[in-house]
Structure 1
Amino acid sequence: MASNEQKKIVKLNVMVHRKLNQVVFAEADKDFVDILFSFLTIPLGTIVRLLRKQSHPTVIGSLNNLHSSVENLEKRRFQKEICKTMLLRTRNAYGDECRKLELNIDDTEPTSFYLCQPCASRRIGASLLSTFDSSSCGSRLTPMTLRSRPNGSEVDGEDGVFVKGNATFLVTDDLQVTPLSTLATFRLLNNLGITDAVLLEKKSLDVDFEQVMKSRCCQIT
């Protein structure tokens, strides 16, 4: 990921318990919630790779061993050489949309498309298009440019990537996301046994790439 991507920040308001000095919940707009939701689009292998690159790498059980096994295997052990790249640099099907995020966690290269001309001439539909520069028949592939389908209901700058731009959300410490409302706030405080709102203090934070990567959704054990 480019260094300037890691320097970007998003604003976040958090409610902190004065006595415990712990974050109780956050009030987040579309930018932060879109980043959280984008985690669900990232292939598992990419998550493992990203967490291993951090200054304090996170281990996701045996998945780290599985990822290392693919890295260490010689290309000749795979069905095709490109298979190793497919496994280690898996494409995010929603990658184009994720690049619109204020902080894009997935550093996988933009998806390219390639056409197998011999297969196209023989009308073998399953083998026509690939997202990697390799074909099942061994033929040389032709790079293709696909045009996005226009969407008249979406106006750039107004809506978020996954959620609407004018919404505000309540995000709990265990990453439950709900629309922000007085009822939702009181219900959360009641569940946590907090009966006096004076115990809470609102603080504004600047969240960067490193802090997002340390969020609980990445700390899988």
Structure 2
Amino acid sequence: MAATKMSLKLLVDQRNQAVLFAEAGKDFVDFLFNCLALPVGTIVSLLPKTGEAGSLHNLYASVENLSETYIERREKEALLNSKARTGPDGLRLLLPDAPASAPVDYYTCARNDGGYYGTPFCSLVTDSPCTRCPNCSNSMSKKLSWVAGPAVGATSTAKVPGGEGGYVTGIVTYMVMDDLVVKPMSTISCITLLNRFNVHEIGDLKEKVIDFGLDEAIKLLTASLHSKTVLTDIFSGVLTD
């Protein structure tokens, strides 16, 4: 598991014990946006077994418990261990870097083994060696060799203007609101926000610098499913420090 840590600066309203916003860099915003690319199965596997995911955990467990008599292995693996196929390296904060492995054996037409001289090459494949080739009716029993490609996340397909990986540019600092609204940081936005929350005493405000890692990421995913005060919920333990 990647040991990625991000740094966030929270602006806390001490009187109301609430996070007004987080001052964040590109890495954290990329992580937030990448949450939208996570398959539901991946999200469910990361959340606590009870509570916020509700009956989705029962659905996930049902797939886990079904034997290969009732569900094909590759389909089961796809549902339980699916990963987003695009996105920045921030996704590694949530997903383990598992070694590549071949989930299923594949076979092709037996005539491709050189025993059928002069016949055209067959490009069809199957996951069952008992299958008959629909073109020539030969047994599709020649097992194919599988070669692992580069790990998912080794390269990023998501690019932003200027050639940076990820979703947003790193030329500005971002303001992430308590309800996860994201916008570029600006003095005007800060003043407007203080007026919106009726903050009249600057002394009520305090900055908190915190580390954001795997535990916080899972808490954020959990809270974002049901809360409009996500940052306050997950950092409530440090608001009074």
User: TM-score, normalization: structure 1?
Assistant: 0.72
Matches of 1:50 and 1:19, distance apart in 2: 34
Q: 1:175-194 CA deviation, whole Å, 9 max, x = no partner?
A: 11111112222233333233
Matches of 1:159 and 1:150, distance apart in 2: 10
Of 166, 170, 182, the residue aligned with 1:165 is: 170
Q: Which blocks of at least 5 consecutive residues in structure 2 are unaligned?
A: 113-120, 130-140, 227-241
User: In the TM superposition, what is the alpha-carbon distance from 1:87 to its structure 2 partner?
Assistant: 1.1
Aligned positions of 1:39-188 closer than 5 A = 39-52=35-48, 58-78=51-71, 80-94=72-86, 97-98=87-88, 100-101=89-90, 104-107=93-96, 109=98, 118=108, 121-123=121-123, 135-136=126-127, 138=129, 140-144=143-147, 159-188=164-193
The aligned amino acid for 2:179 is D
**Whose radius of gyration is greater, 1 or 2?**
2
**Partner of 2:239 in structure 1?**
none
Q: Which blocks of at least 5 consecutive residues in structure 1 are unaligned?
A: 128-134
- Report the identity percentage: 31
Whether contact under 8 Å (2:52, 2:222) holds in the other structure is: no
User: TM-score, normalization: structure 2?
Assistant: 0.67
Matches of 1:23 and 1:85, distance apart in 2: 39
User: In the TM superposition, what is the alpha-carbon distance from 1:211 to its structure 2 partner?
Assistant: 1.4
CA RMSD of aligned residues (A): 3.6
Q: Which moved more, 1:191-200 or 1:107-116?
A: 107-116
Matches of 2:33 and 2:181, distance apart in 1: 11
Matches of 1:105 and 1:33, distance apart in 2: 14
Q: Which moved more, 1:111-120 or 1:158-167?
A: 111-120
1:50 and 1:33, CA in 2 relative to 1: closer, same or farther beyond 3 A? same
Q: Does residue 1:33 correspond to 2:29, yes or no?
A: yes
